Amino acid sequence: MAGNDDRSQDILAACKIADINVPSEVAILGVDNDELICGLSYPQLSKNTALSTQRAGYEAAKVLGKLMDGQKVAENEQEVSVSPLHVVTKQSTDIMAIEDKQVAEAVHFIRNHSKEIIQVGDVVEAAGLSRRILEQRFQKVLSHSVHEEIKHARVNQMTKMLIETYLSISQIAWSLGFPYTNNISRYFNR
């Protein structure tokens, strides 16, 4: 994890010089959400985004208000933290540490098709295994079913779209293949 996006680009360049594969050998995560740096790098750099700066500003103003009013400020209130709210995964961290190659391929297929309506049968076909064998391997490696992985990927996609776009819930529902907004709400709640 680099302290900022400039350093993450330096790490990426050093990996290229040292012939270290990103992300299979090293995953790189930067901070600052510099779209230009992250977007023009190859592979594209993942980054912490949506820092809680607004919340931190509010907390700092509250402390300043107390000080200006002559009030004492408790020691635990004197330090205001700015925390990342989520990570945008790009190519520099897009890897799963799964030793079972076919399960890893199945998970990769699911994530790549999370905007589409896919069924377990589609994943079985992509993995090249029987449904029973794939389900057994998922249980062994991930401790859940293929269907649960599909649902998890879809919820992550919904969350990503809610955070990163200005689309309405009905637009997101439509783009993900849900004909009605209440269907996506029910799915997301579950």
Residues 6+ apart with CB under 8 A from 114: 153, 154, 156, 157
Within a domain: residue 33? yes
- Give 40-74 pLDDT, tens digit per residue: 676 666 655 556 677 788 888 988 898 899 998 88
Which of 59, 93, 127 marks a domain boundary? 93
Q: What is the CATH number of the domain that holds 141?
A: 1.10.10.60
Residues 6+ apart with CB under 8 A from 65: none
Q: Are residues 39 and 113 in the same domain?
A: no
Within a domain: residue 79? no
d(CA 112, CA 44): 16
Domain coverage including residue 29: 5-50+86-93
Q: What is the CATH number of the domain that holds 37?
A: 3.40.50.2300
Within a domain: residue 107? yes
Q: Are residues 106 and 184 in the same domain?
A: yes
Within a domain: residue 62? no
Phi, psi dihedrals of residue 29, rounded to the nearest 5° = -130, 125
Which CB contacts under 8 angstroms, 24+ apart, belong to 132-140?
A: 134/102, 134/103, 134/106, 137/100, 137/102, 137/103, 138/103, 138/106, 140/100
- Give 65-93 pLDDT, tens digit per residue: 988 999 988 887 778 777 766 666 655 55
Which of 61, 93, 125 marks a domain boundary? 93
What pLDDT is stored for residue 125 in this prediction? 93
Within a domain: residue 63? no
Contact 145, 138 (CB under 8 A): yes
Which of 67, 93, 119 marks a domain boundary? 93
Within a domain: residue 70? no
- Region of residue 77 (phi > 0: left; psi between -120 and 50: alpha; otherwise: beta): alpha
Please compute the mean of the pLDDT values over residues 96-113 and round it to a whole number. Answer: 84
Within a domain: residue 138? yes
Across the beta sheet with 46-51, the strand order is 29-31, 46-51, 84-88
Domain count, the chain: 2
Please compute the mean of the pLDDT values over residues 142-168 and round it to a whole number. Answer: 87
- Give 8-24 pLDDT, tens digit per residue: 888 888 988 998 877 77
Q: How confident is the model at residue 106 (pLDDT cuts 50, 70, 90)?
A: very high
Within a domain: residue 26? yes
